[in-house]
Amino acid sequence: MLHSKSCQPLSEPPTAGPVGAGHGRRALLGLAAGLVGSVFGAAFAQAARRTVRIAAPGPRSTVSLPAELAAAAGLDAPHGLRLQVVPVNGGAVALQHLVERNVDFAIAGMPAGMLMRANRSPIVAIAALEERPHYVLVVRRDLAASVRSVAALRGRTVGVHSGSLAAKTTSHLLSELVLRSAGVMPDEVRFVAVGQNWDTQASAFQAGTVDAIMGDEAFSARLIDELGAVALLNLGDPVQAAGVAGAGFLRGTLFTREELVPQDPKLVEAVVRTFQSTLAWVRANAPERVAELIGTAVGGERQHLARLLRDNPRMYSPDARFSARQLRDTEVFFRASLPGHAAAQALTLDTMVVDRWAGRRD
């Protein structure tokens, strides 16, 4: 309940007689009506916001960050939306939720989306959220002396983000490509889903469930700093990335179902605009503030994410536009990671990228 600073009744200004008193009463009635209108107007504006469910790997991952930030900072409100983020254990799981109509939007790596599209899932990409992928392949501390190269993972267990045989995550596709490049066939390694959040990945290492994890920052940095893990490959290093076909592929991508574009274009546009506003906000604010708003715990979690954002100011797209270079790299990576998949080899991104609202750039 709102209270005035004083409990004394409002007094009318002194007047010359009955006519002035009438004006005072009318002024008070007008003021009261205005206040009531403002309250009801604000309430109506809140009620008019449309709730939109969006699945994203997380929580508090660099993939889910734009969606979580938009909701936490109220950046969705000016666009008439109320984002409801559904955290899942991997991009392929987020896309499966999208296909099954549990949500209307999802964030995942573009390669994972391409694989689902190649397998005839009717999804389209509507915005590019990231500039550069930050994957790191790390091995447990107790194995660091014996596993000094990717080739040494033959016969080992590798953790990847959660997916399925039909819907592999980008982490899984990257793992297979890197292993194959080192002379290790995918069937010579056992893949285990370890999710895409700190708790599940740290638990997998501590329990010895996996020998290595193809993860992403800032979780990988925490595994190194807090659990003594050792990096075998870091895509954030240009020298190491040069050895991976299409290493500059597009990771964080905003997807929706193909049918929703003609059915509700205003909604799709509002969601794209929300993410454009959020990406601009990330660039304009301190990394510590971004990390705080998405709910990271004080201490290691917040420090690692803030450091990652500070050290990589171009991690996220400035405007959600699709980059021609990035799309080319993504096609190269996708085809190299699925050499025996005929539909994957034939798929082109132009068949599933809708740049009507986000736009494109070189």
CB-CB contact of 123 with 99 (8 Å): yes
CB-CB contact of 201 with 223 (8 Å): yes
Nearest to 204 by CA among 186, 232, 185, 229: 229
For the chain, the average pLDDT equals: 88
48-66 mean pLDDT: 94
| Dihedral angle, C-alpha 331, 335, 337, 342, nearest 10 ° | 140
Look at residue 85 and tell me whether its pLDDT is greater than 70: yes
Pairing of strands 212-216, 157-160: parallel
Query: What's the pLDDT score for residue 31?
Result: 52
The residue type found at 170 is T
Query: What's the pLDDT score for residue 29?
Result: 54
Query: What's the pLDDT score for residue 197?
Result: 85
Query: What's the pLDDT score for residue 219?
Result: 85
Q: Who wins on pLDDT, 60 or 165?
A: 60
CB-CB contact of 336 with 342 (8 Å): no
Look at residue 36 and tell me whether its pLDDT is greater than 50: no
Query: What's the pLDDT score for residue 48?
Result: 87
19-33 mean pLDDT: 51
The model carries a pTM of 0.84
Beta-carbon contacts of 299 under 8 Å, excluding residues fewer than 6 positions away, are none
- Token reading at 261: 């574009």
Buried-state track 259-271, b at ≥16 Cβ within 10 A, e below 16: ebbeeeeebbbbb
Look at residue 46 and tell me whether its pLDDT is greater than 90: no
Q: In angstroms, how far is CA 241 from the centroid of its own chain?
A: 22
Q: Who wins on pLDDT, 214 or 44?
A: 214
Look at residue 9 and tell me whether its pLDDT is greater than 80: no
Look at residue 14 and tell me whether its pLDDT is greater than 50: no
- Cα distances (Å, whole numbers) of residue 59 to 13, 88, 255: 57, 8, 18
Query: What's the pLDDT score for residue 44?
Result: 46
CB-CB contact of 107 with 118 (8 Å): no
Look at residue 43 and tell me whether its pLDDT is greater than 50: no
Look at residue 292 and tell me whether its pLDDT is greater than 90: yes
Please report which confidence band the pLDDT of residue 38 belongs to, taking 50, 70 and 90 as the band edges. very low
Instruction: Tell me what percent of the residues of the chain surpass a pLDDT of 70.
Output: 86
Q: In angstroms, how far is CA 268 from the centroid of its own chain?
A: 17
Residue 7 burial by Cβ neighbours in a 10 Å radius (0-12, 13-18, 19+)? exposed
User: For 184, left (φ over 0), alpha (ψ -120 to 50), or beta?
Assistant: beta
